[in-house]
Amino acid sequence: MHLLQVVGARPNFMKAAPVMHALATREGVRQTLVHTGQHYDADMSDVFFQQLDMSQPDFNLGVGSGSHAQQTSEVMRLFEPVILDSKPDIVLVYGDVNSTVAVTLVCAKLGVPVAHVEAGLRSFDRSMPEEINRLVTDQLADILFTPSVDGDKNLAQEGIPKSKIRLVGNIMIDSLVRLLPKADESTAAKTCTSGLDRYGLVTLHRPSNVDDTDALRPIVDALCNISRSIPLVFPVHPRTRQQLNGLVSKSDQRRLRLVDPMGYVDFLALQKSATLVITDSGGIQEETTYLGVPCLTVRENTERSVTVSIGTNVLFGQDMARR
Ligand code: UD1
């Protein structure tokens, strides 16, 4: 069997790695790996391939950044010849990024079966680009691998036949479990927490939080306030870096430490030892749940509702000042 996997953005890599490793031990399975190039900086992509022991992609489409329409259409345009040439038996896509939906559309139109890993999650908020990607991908996919029972329920409500759905659990946590022992070796994590006996960890990159300075400024002000009680380490996503200029004063940066994006193992090390995590990421809500670290999510809703029902995650909302 020839299986073609597609990854594009940072949160895809830790989901694809365990599948690639497991399939590498199966006789009769040939794998092709396509990287769309949605994420391309060394610290957003290459470092994950190294730390997750992933083989280099067979194809890199190099689509890069752009508006949603540009990025999605560019993946479609460049992926079509690859699939026509490689003729896989099945294509595996991950998560909810633009590359996921773009590849699924191409496959559906060419009649190539698609399996979606992390199917069924819903925030029920269609202003979130990822929700659109999830809805479209799940309607078109032939096999839907769900991480949790709420995923199965959501898909059933959308009329997806049960026969297409497989509850497999959260594959991203397989990467976490495998690499957690390496976390203690992270020098990058030690460097950015040097001199701190306790700290909070922050990530922000949701467009609704960071693209508009009027939305970002009160969040940053709240973080500066929190940092007076507990120092915060903040690996800054490139999307956020562009907006953050001038919002954090030099004196605030002593307690709110702005650092470059981290590799997988390094970020795991930071999460594992954090007193709390403040984030708007999806995956980090789940990783902190596994690690038992309290997580405050700077969003009004979540597609990862199990993290709230288990009790590690609290939806803080976007307006942090009202708390
Ligand atoms: C994307 C995903 C989001 C995921 C996030 C993880 C979509 C719609 N969004 O958001 O679901 O949570 O990845 O990081 O697919 N940039 C760089 N270098 C890079 C990549 C991006 O500088 O390697 C900058 C560019 O200015 C770009 C911006 O970051 O315009 C946003 O990148 P993009 O891939 O469009 O969206 P993310 O915010 O990363």
pLDDT tens column, 230-254: 999 999 999 999 899 889 999 999 9
Q: What is the pLDDT of residue 242?
A: 86
Phi, psi at residue 116, to the nearest 5°? Answer: -110, 120
Helix (H) or strand (E) holding 10: helix 10-24
pLDDT one-digit tens code per residue, 286-306 = 999 999 999 999 999 999 999
Which of 239, 242, 244, 302 is the best mutation target for the ligand 1 pocket, counting ligand atoms within 8 Å of the beta carbon and taking the most? 239
Q: What is the pLDDT of residue 177?
A: 98
CB neighbour burial string for 90-118, b if at least 16 within 10 angstroms, e if fewer? bbbbbbbbbbbbbbbbbbbeeebebbbbb
Q: Is a pLDDT exceeding 70 seen at residue 175?
A: yes
Label residue 320 by pLDDT band (50, 70, 90).
confident
Nearest CA to 97 among 225, 275, 244, 282?
282
Q: What is the pLDDT of residue 89?
A: 98
Q: What is the pLDDT of residue 245?
A: 83
**How many angstroms does the Cα of residue 175 sit away from the middle of ligand 1?**
21
Which of 36, 38, 100 is the best mutation target for the ligand 1 pocket, counting ligand atoms within 8 Å of the beta carbon and taking the most? 38
Share of the chain above pLDDT 90, in %: 96
Rounded to the nearest integer, the mean pLDDT of the chain is 96
Q: HSE (CB half, 13 Å, CA atoms) of 72?
A: 18
Q: Domains in the chain, start-ordered, CATH in brackets?
A: 2-169 (3.40.50.2000), 185-315 (3.40.50.2000)
pLDDT one-digit tens code per residue, 54-88 = 999 999 999 999 999 999 999 999 999 999 999 99
Q: What is the pLDDT of residue 126?
A: 97
pLDDT one-digit tens code per residue, 212-224 = 999 999 999 999 9
Q: Is a pLDDT exceeding 90 seen at residue 323?
A: no
How far are the Cα atoms of 63, 79, 147, 195, 288 from residue 71, in angstroms, in the given order?
Answer: 7, 12, 27, 42, 30
Task: Return the residue whose CA atom lies nearest to atom 33 of ligand 1.
Answer: 65
